[in-house]
Amino acid sequence: MQTELAPARRATAAVSTEHGVLTLTVAGQLCGVSVLSVRDILGPQTITPIPLAPPEVAGGLNLRGRIVTAVDLRRRLGLSPREAASPPPMSVVVEVGGELYALLADSVGDVLALPDASLAPNPPTLDPLWRDVCAGIHQDVPVHAGDARLLIMLDVERVLDIS
Amino acid sequence: MPGRSARSYRLIHTIKGTCGFLGLSRLEKVAHAGENVLGRYREGSLSVTSGGVSLILRVVDRVREIMTGLEATGAEPAGDDAALIAELDAVFTGQVAPEDAPAASPERAVPVAVVEVPASAGKRRVAKPATAKPRRAKGAPAVAPAEPLEAPPAVPAPAAVEPTAAPAGEAVAVAQTLRVNVDVLESLMTLVSELVLTRNQLLQLSRARNDGALSGPLQRLSHITSELQEGVMKTRMQPIGNAWKGLPRLVRDLSRELGKKIELEMRGAETELDRQVLELIRDPLTHMVRNSGDHGLESPADRRAADKPEVGTVTLNAYHEGGHIIIEVGDDGRGLAVEKIRAKALSQGLATEQELAGMGERDIQRFIFRAGFSTAAAVTSVSGRGVGMDVVKTNVEKIGGTIDLRSREGKGTTFLIKIPLTLAIVSALIVEAGGERFAVPQIGVVELVRAGDGVAHIKDALVLRLRDRLLPLVSLSRLLRLDERPGEADGGGFVVVTQVGQNLFGIIVDRVFDTEEIVVKPVAPILRHVTMFSGNTILGDGSVIMILDPNGIARATGVGAEGVQEEARRGAAISSASSAERMSLLLFRAGDGAPRAVPLGLVARLEDLPGERIEMSHGRPVVQYRGALMPLVPMSDSWIPPAPGSRQAVLVFNDGDRAMGLAVEEILDVVEEALKIENGQDRAGYLGTAVIAGRATEVIDCAWWLRQAGDDWFGGKRPAARPARVLVVEDSAFFRNMLVPVLGAAGYEVVAVGSGAQALKLREAGETFDAVISDIEMPELDGLGLARAARDGGTWHTTPMIALTSRQEPEAERRGREAGFDEYVPKFDRDALLGALRGRLAASQH
C-alpha cells in the first residue's frame, strides 16, 4: 500500500484524492484502517480463547453465525497488555482472503476523510515490528477540536500475517 | 462396446441435426463427417482402431471449440474444418485406415468431402434430430460402404414423420431430475445450519425450564430439522468420480504425447463428498495425475530395462477414514530420487548441509512441496509449466486438508490427500478442560469412562487400567497448556476413550456435557498450523468452540504411531519389533539396589491393593482377584505382608485365564528406550542389566517369576551370547514379547512378526535370518505352511527352522519335520529352545 500511495502523493497537484480512514486507539496510540476493508464494528463480545494459537490471537467470536478470529492489536503491536479494570475492547471486523477477522482496539473513533497527500512514508527509525504492519503515517489528523495528532495507518493484510 | 458406439453416434447425430435446423453450418459439417464414421463403427463395417478414436475425439474437441465461440459471441467462430472433415471422410469411405498421423489423409479425399457435405447438409435442414436415428440404423447396412454419397439421403424422409418423439422422451427424464442452481442449494444449506443451531438453542432452553407443553412440539421440530438437514446434506454430496471424469481422456492424450503406455486405475469413484470440496479438489487432482504420468512414470524403454511391465499404472483411490476423505494418487514409476532432491534443495538454498544430514528420507522428499521446486530435468509441454506440487499443497490446505507422500526409488510414488468433510454437520461430544469447552467428534469416541481409581500415575505418565489393558492417557488441559485444575489428575474427571487407526488412547477431561449436532467450520488460515483442532463451531448457546482432532492429538503426543498405521492399512505391513527398537519399559523398585525394569507390553495391569486383601494360602500370599485366586510373588526376599491400612503395588501378568501378581515396592516410571541387555550377570530371575533412563537397571526375567507362581510356564538359565539374527514368528503378543527379551538377552538380534504371512513378506523384502523360530498354530498361514513355503525355494530354503509347540505328540512332531522344521521344541521350555537354537546355528555354520 505504501508503494501504491507514494506516487499519488507526488501527483497531488493534479488530482486531490481522499481516503476514508476509520480511527481507533490502541494503548493510547492513534491508528487507522482503510474504511473499505471494514465490514463491521462490534461492541464488547464473548471471545473464546483458542489454545496453542499464536499469542496475538485473542480467540474466536460469533458474528451472526459466522466465526470470526479476533486479533489483539495491543499484542500484535507489542504494546502493554490491557489492564483488568479497563473497559472491554471493541472489535473492528475486516475481511481478508474471504475470511473474517476482528481487530481488538481499546476504542473506535470517527471515519475521517484524509487526503492521500498527508500520508508520509514510515520513518526509517520506526520499530521494525511496526514498520512491518504500517502503511504510512498521516500527519495533522484532527481528532478533537483543535487537537491534531499523528495517525498510524495499519496495513490490515500485514497485521493479519501472523506466523 | 456396440452400445457405446451407438450412443456416441446418437449424440453426434443429435448435434448435427439440431445444427442443421438452426443454421449452424460449420458445426453441422463437422458433426456430419464425424457421424458418418461413427455410423460405420456402429454397424461394425469398420473396426474401431485407436487412431479412429483419436479422430473422433478431435471431432468432439472441435465441436466444443465452436460451441465455446457460440456461447461467447452468439455466432459460429470463423475457422476452417476442411482438413478434419477430409480425414474423417477418408476413413468413412474406407480409403484410409485411421492413423495416428493426420498427414495420412490423401488429397483426393478432399474434393469428395467438399462436394458431398454441403449437399447432404441442405437436406438435413428439414430433419429433426434424434428421431432420424432408428431408421438410419436399419437403412445403413444396405448402403455399400464404398459409396458415401448414398448414405445421407436415407435419413431425411422418415424424420418428419415422428417429430414429437424426442421431446416426449426428454420430458420423462426431466421428471426424474431437476437442475437447481448451486446458489439455491448453498443458501438452503446455510439456512439449515442456522435452523440446526436455533433448534439446539431451543432444546437447551426447554431443558432448563422443564415445560411439558413445550417439549412435545419441540421434539417434533427437532426431528423434522434433523431430517431436513440430512436431505439438504444429501443434495450436496456427489461421488468423487465426477471429478475424475476427464481423467481417462487426459491420460490417453498424455500417453500419446509422451509416447508412454499408461493405464489409469480408478478405485472408490463412488466415494461421496461435499460438492464444494469436490470442485476445489478437481484441479489439484488433474494436475497430480498429469504429474504422475509425466514425471512419475518412465518411458517404456526405461521400464523394460528396469524389469517392469511396459505399461505404467497411475492409480487413483478414494475412501472415507474417520470423518475425512483420503485420496491417493499413485504411480508405479521411478519414485523420487532422494539424492537429486537433496542436491537441489542445497543448490536452491532451501536447507543447509547440516539440516539435510539430519533429515529422514521422507522429509527430504517433502521438499517437492516447496514453492518453485521441480525435479524434472527437462521442462516438457505437459508438466513443468511453473505450477508445481506447492500449488497443489496450497490448494489442498485451503480447504483444510493435508497432503503427504510415500515414495520408493524405483518403485513409485503415491500422494495422499486428506480432506475434511467441511461444512458437514457432525455429532460431537462437548467436554470441558481447564475451564474451556471443546467438541470431540463422536466418530472417534469409543467409550466414556469415569477416571476414578483406574488412573495410575507412573511418574509423569498417566495410564488407565481399562479391563485387560493399560491405556495411555493424555491430559487435555496439559496438552493445550490450559490451567490444570487440582483433582483432575487424581481421578476426578472423565476419560474419553478414543480410537485413531489401530490405537486406543484416553483423553482426560474435567467435565462431559451433552452430545450436540455441530456445523463444522474450518479454522482461519492463521490457525491452520495448530493441528490439535479440525475446525470450530458455534454451539446452541451461541458460543464459539474448537473441535478437537483426535488424529492431531495422537500425532502430537505420540500415542498413535502414524507411520505404522498407514502401513498396516495398506496391507503391506510388516510389523516387526526388533530388539534394537525402542520399547516401553516399566520401571519399579523392589528390594535393594538398582531399579528394576520389565517390558510394559508384558504387564497386563498395575494394581494398588489394600493390605487387607492379601491372604496366605499354604504359606504363600494370594489375593482374590476378579473372581479367582491370584498367586502373589514377592520380588524381594525380605517381603512381609503389608499391614492392614497400607497398600501393596502389584504388577499383574496374565495369559488367557492364568494370572499372577508380582509384589513390588514402588512403581517408578514408564520410559521408552532401546532395550540393550548387558551380559555377565547370572542371577535367577534377572535377564541382566541395562542402562535405562541413564541408570543401571535390572531387567527381570518374567518367565522365571511366572514359574515362582507355581505355573511351569518357562524356565532355565541363560546361555552364553552368540550374535546371530533370529526371526520369531508367533501370533500371541504375550509370548512374542516374552521371547524377544529372552533371545535378546541371549545375544541374538531378534525380529518378531505376528503371522506366517508377515514372515514371508520379510522374505520377499529380501531379509535374511540365521534361524527362524515359529509357532505352529497361527491364523492365516500357520507354522507348517510357513515351513513348506520356506523350503519351497527362495532365500530361506536352508535357514534352520525351529518349531515351538504346546502339543508334545509324536504325530505332530512328525508332521512338523515333514513340513521342513529342523527342531521341535516345547513352547515353554526356554533351555530347550536356546539349546536347539545354539545347536542349529553351529550346525549351519559348518
The CATH number of whichever domain residue B749 belongs to comes to 3.40.50.2300
Task: Report the CATH number that the domain containing residue B635 is assigned in CATH.
Answer: 2.40.50.180
Q: What is the pLDDT of residue B675?
A: 66
- Is there a domain that residue B463 lies in? no
Name the residue of chain A whose CA is nearest to B520's CA.
Answer: A67
Q: Which residues of A touch B436 (CB under 8 A)?
A: 48-49, 51
pLDDT band per the 50, 70, 90 thresholds, residue B246: confident
**Residue B561 and residue B413 in one domain:** no
Tell me what pLDDT residue B582 has: 58
Min CA distance, A78 vs chain B (Å)? 18
For residue B536, give the nearest of A67, A101, A160 by CB distance: A67
What residues does B317 pair with on adjacent strands?
B267, B328
Looking at chain B, the whole-number percentage of residues with pLDDT higher than 70 is 76
Q: Is residue B470 part of a domain?
A: no
- Which tens digits make up the pLDDT trace of B773-802? 988 877 777 888 888 888 887 788 888 888
Which residues from chain A sit within 8 angstroms of residue B533, using beta carbons?
50
- d(CA B758, CA B773) in angstroms, rounded, equals 14
* One domain, residues B15 and B123: yes
Name residue, grid cell 498395575: B606
What is the predicted pLDDT for the residue at B140? 39
Q: Which residues from B are below 8 Å from A157, CB to CB?
A: none
Q: Which residues of A touch B430 (CB under 8 A)?
A: none
DSSP string, A82-123: PPTTSPPPEEEEEEETTEEEEEEESEEEEEEEEEGGGEEPPP
B619 and B702 share a domain?
yes
Contact B545 A101 (CB under 8 A): no
Instruction: Give the domain-ending residue among B401, B417, B433.
Output: B417
Among chain B, residues having any CB pair with chain A shorter than 8 Å are: 190, 193-194, 197, 434, 436, 480-482, 521, 523-527, 530, 532-533, 536-538, 542-546
> Once rounded to an integer, what is the mean pLDDT over residues A152-160?
91
Mean pLDDT of B619-642: 79
pLDDT of residue B371: 64
Residues B40 and B144 in one domain: yes
> Does residue A61 belong to the interface with chain B, where contact is any CB pair within 8 Å?
yes
Among A11-15, A143-147, B694-698, the range of highest mean pLDDT: B694-698
Residue in B190, B194, B521 nearest the CB of A67: B521
The 10s digit of each residue's pLDDT in A6-61 is 444 444 444 557 888 999 999 888 999 999 889 999 988 889 999 999 989 999 99
Q: Please, which pLDDT band fits residue B237 given cuts at 50, 70 and 90?
A: confident
Is B818 inside a domain boundary? yes
Tell if the CB–CB gap between A67 and B546 is shorter than 8 Å.
Answer: no
Of chain A, the end-to-end C-alpha distance in Å amounts to: 20
Q: How close, in Å, is residue A83 to chain B by CA atoms?
A: 21
* A-chain residue closest to B519, CA distance: A65
* More confident of the two residues B619 and B21: B619
Out of A49, A52, A67, the one facing B538 most closely (by C-beta) is: A67
Q: What is the pLDDT of residue B710?
A: 61
Chain B: closest CA distance from residue A113 (Å): 31
Regarding whether B313 and B265 lie in a shared domain, the answer is yes
More confident residue, B283 or B830: B283
- The reply to whether B793 and B704 lie within a common domain is no
**Which is higher by pLDDT, B382 or B522?**
B522
How far is B547 from chain A, CA to nearest CA, in Å? 11
Phi and psi angles of residue B707, each rounded to the nearest 5 degrees, phi first: -70, -30
Quick one: pLDDT at residue B760?
A: 85
On whether residue B286 sits in a domain, the answer given is: yes
d(CA B374, CA B389): 8
CB under 8 Å to B131, separation ≥6 — which residues? B158, B159, B161, B162, B163, B165, B166
Choose the closest CB to A52 out of B434, B525, B532. Answer: B532
pLDDT value at B169 more than 70 = no
My answer on whether B326 and B276 are in the same domain is yes
A55 touches chain B (CB under 8 A): no
Between the ranges A137-146, B342-351, B803-812, where is the mean pLDDT highest? B342-351
Contact B546 A61 (CB under 8 A): no
Closest to B190 in 3D by CA, of B387, B22, B425, B365: B425
Answer whether residue B125 is part of any domain: yes
Q: Which residues of B touch A69 (CB under 8 A)?
A: 523-524, 526-527
Chain B residues whose CB is inside 8 A of the A67 CB are 521, 524, 536-538, 544
Q: Give me the residue from B434, B530, B544 closest to A62, CB to CB.
A: B544
- A46/B543 CB distance under 8 A: yes
Tell me the CATH number at B211: 1.10.287
Nearest to B289 by CA among B414, B193, B103, B167: B414
Q: Model confidence over B72-120: pLDDT tens digits?
A: 787 788 888 888 888 888 888 877 766 554 443 443 333 333 333 333 3
Tell me, yes or no, if A57 comes closer than 8 A to chain B by beta carbon: yes
Per-domain boundaries in chain A: 2-159
> Are both B743 and B702 inside the same structural domain?
no
Domains of chain B: total: 6
Chain A CA closest to residue B526: A162
Q: What percent of chain B has pLDDT over 90?
A: 4
Q: Is residue B815 part of a domain?
A: yes
| Residue A52 forms contact with B (CB below 8 Å) | yes
Beta-strand pair A29-34/A147-154: parallel
Of B755, B405, B469, B448, nearest in space to B605 by CA? B469
**A110/chain B closest Cα distance in angstroms:** 29
Question: Does the CB of A159 have a partner CB in chain B at under 8 Å?
Answer: no
Which chain A residues are closer than 8 Å to B481 by Cβ?
A: 51-52
| B424: closest CA of chain A, how far (Å) | 15
Determine the average pLDDT of the residues in A100-110: 92
A49:B436 CB<8 A:
yes
Return the pLDDT at B657: 57
Nearest to B140 by CA among B11, B35, B8, B16: B35
Between positions 65 and 84 of A, the ones with CB within 8 A of B are 65, 67, 69
Which of A42, A48, A72, A76 is most worth mutating to test chain B (most B CB atoms within 10 A of its CB)?
A48
Maximum separation of any 2 CA atoms in chain B, in Å: 115
Task: State whether B544 and A60 contact (CB < 8 Å).
Answer: yes
> Hey, are the CB atoms on A54 and B526 less than 8 Å from each other?
yes
Between the CA of residue B56 and those of A18, B85, B88, B108, B201, what are the distances in Å? 60, 11, 8, 21, 59
- Nearest Cα residue in chain B from A47: B544
- Tell whether B139 and B90 lie within a shared domain: yes
Within this chain, do residues B448 and B566 fall inside the same structural domain, yes or no?
Answer: yes
Average pLDDT over residues A98-108: 91
Q: Which of B526, B538, B544 is facing A57, going by the closest CB pair? A: B526
Q: Select from B546, B549, B553 the residue whose CB has the most chain A CBs within 10 Å, as the one to mutate to test that interface.
A: B546
Closest Cα of chain B to A60: distance in Å? 6
- Give the H or E element holding residue B273: strand B272-274
Domain that holds residue B703: 582-708
The DSSP secondary-structure symbol of B294 reads I
Structural domain ending residue among the three candidates B708, B738, B770 = B708
Contacts A160 to B, Cβ<8 Å? 526
CB atoms A65 and B194 under 8 Å? yes
Closest among A13, A23, A3 to A153, alpha carbons compared? A23
Chain A interface, mutation test: which of B423, B484, B538, B541, most A Cβ atoms within 10 Å?
A: B538
**Domain shared by B411 and B434, yes or no:** no
How many beta-carbon pairs under 8 angstroms link A with B?
61
Q: What superfamily would CATH give domain A2-159?
A: CheA-289, Domain 4 (2.40.50.180)
Closest-CA residue in chain A for B476? Answer: A51
Q: Does A98 contact chain B (CB < 8 Å)?
A: no
Residues of B in contact with A97 (CB under 8 A): 525
**Inter-chain residue contact A51 with B532, CB threshold 8 Å:** yes
Residue B516 distance to chain A (closest CA, Å): 16
CB contact under 8 A, A48 and B546: yes
Long-range contacts of B405-411 (CB under 8 A, 24+ apart): B405/B336, B405/B362, B405/B365, B405/B366, B405/B368, B406/B362, B406/B566, B407/B335, B407/B336, B407/B365, B408/B335, B409/B334, B409/B335, B409/B336, B409/B337, B409/B338, B410/B306, B410/B334, B410/B335, B411/B332, B411/B335
What pLDDT digit, counting tens, does each position of B483-533 carry? 765 544 455 688 999 877 557 889 999 889 888 878 777 788 888 788 888
User: Nearest C-alpha of chain A: how many angstroms from B480?
Assistant: 6
Residue in chain A closest to B536 (alpha carbons) equals: A67
Question: A156 in contact with B at a CB cutoff of 8 Å?
Answer: no
